[in-house]
Amino acid sequence: MRAFREGGDRKDPRPGRKGRVICGLSGGVDSAVAAVLIHEAVGDQLTCVFVDHGMLRLDEAKTVVDLFRHHYNIPLVHVDASKQFLGELEGVTDPEIKRKTIGRLFIDVFDVEAKKSVARIFWRRARSTPM
């Protein structure tokens, strides 16, 4: 990760653009590393949406929340969707159906929260603009 961070041109390909960036976080290593790298690139423009699917180890969701909020100082929205995920997976034994169900639910939950976050961002901007 260090070699990746230190290498290459770090210039923003879209100078002057300061929009918000929303990153989906599953609690796994891949999405966590991606979120940290994105944060290094865009800083405070990033908000992570942690979709807690209820299939992490004991207390791991709390660890993810604490790590991102208090160690990395990355704004994080924690969505506990564990009941939704576990409810839809109940009785499903086929691994491919499980994989597709988890992927679909993650995207559905993330999309709902992303729309809420975008609405909040626009509302804040509208409220901070002088009339």
Report the phi/psi class of residue 104: left, alpha or beta, with left for phi > 0 and alpha for psi in -120 to 50: alpha
| Band of pLDDT at residue 131, cut at 50, 70 and 90 | very low
Buried/exposed 71-98: b ≥16 CB within 10 Å, e otherwise: ebebbbbbbebeebbeeebeeeeeeeee
| Band of pLDDT at residue 116, cut at 50, 70 and 90 | confident
pLDDT, tens digit (0-9, with 9 covering 90-100), for 33-59: 999 999 999 898 999 999 999 999 999
How many CA within 13 A on the CB side of residue 96? 0
pLDDT, tens digit (0-9, with 9 covering 90-100), for 73-112: 999 999 999 999 999 999 999 999 999 999 999 999 999 9
Dihedrals phi, psi of 53, to nearest 5 degrees: -90, -5
Decide: pTM greater than 0.85: no
| Band of pLDDT at residue 115, cut at 50, 70 and 90 | confident
